[in-house]
Amino acid sequence: MKGRVLIGAAAATLMTLLSVAPAHAATTISQGHVDALDVDWTGTALTLDLRDGTVTPAVDRNPADVVLNAVSASKTTVPSSSAYSFLGTPGSPVWILPQSQAGAIVWPGFSTEGVPSGALQNNSVNVRLVSATGPAQVSLYTTSSLGTPTVWYDSGNGLPDNRSFPVNTHAHANWAFEAAGTYTLVFEATATTAAGTAVSTGQKTYTFTVQP
């Protein structure tokens, strides 16, 4: 009887440890290239993951298992042009993971290179920013050679926001965060197959930490 009690106590202790221990540590990426939104077509399903190009060979990761870290070097100020009013007051701080690669800053892109031509109707994928939570607003935009911004997604004017991407595309944008802190962005990719079937990746959660 005493042995059974000891075994039971040991089992209870083990279960307690397992319940409080994390399953695994998240992979934190602070610099280098990633395809943050990597859409692929398996032949039967549309998938959305994060393609980590900071390791060799590159690997696909579950976005929920990754933290993208905007280091202090990404901090800048909102331009004075009214075209950038979606970022806040001119001169106020903003943290930007840039459209063009910069040293020691993570460079997140979009890829539909894993979707072959002809697999989906109109050869396009819709990528939706479903929600964004954090200490301030988040926006994604491109900047032309003349410095003119085109907003792709903006939590400041309501979500969800949608954008269509051609298949076999690789693209980059500016990811702007208006305050330091932790942000959670939820994305989903949808499309219609050539046969007329609606397909979805389901909603995927991305975490960004923005350093002061």
In a domain, 179, yes or no: yes
In a domain, 13, yes or no: no
In a domain, 200, yes or no: yes
Q: What is the mean pLDDT of residues 128-149?
A: 97
Short-list 133, 149, 140, CA closest to 37: 140
Alpha-carbon gap, residue 88 to 150, rounded angstroms: 15
In a domain, 11, yes or no: no
Q: Are 174 and 143 in contact (CB under 8 A)?
A: yes
Alpha-carbon gap, residue 42 to 80, rounded angstroms: 45
| Plot region of 122 (φ>0 → left; ψ -120 to 50 → alpha; else → beta) | left
In a domain, 18, yes or no: no
Q: State the pLDDT at residue 5.
A: 37
Q: What is the pLDDT of residues 160-200, one digit of tens each?
A: 999 999 999 999 999 999 999 999 999 999 999 999 999 99
Local confidence band at 24 (pLDDT 50, 70, 90 cut-offs): low
- The pair of structure tokens assigned to 116 is 């072959």
Q: Which residue has the tokens 């100020």?
A: 77
Cα-based angle 153, 47, 150 (whole degrees, multiple of 5): 20
In a domain, 157, yes or no: yes
Residue 111 pLDDT more than 70? yes
In the chain, which ranges are continuous DSSP H helix?
2-20
In a domain, 196, yes or no: yes
Number of domains in the chain: 1
Range(s) of the domain holding residue 104:
27-210
In a domain, 21, yes or no: no
Q: State the pLDDT at residue 119.
A: 98
Please state, in angstroms and as integers, the Cα–Cα distance from residue 21 to each residue in 14, 24, 27, following that order: 11, 8, 17
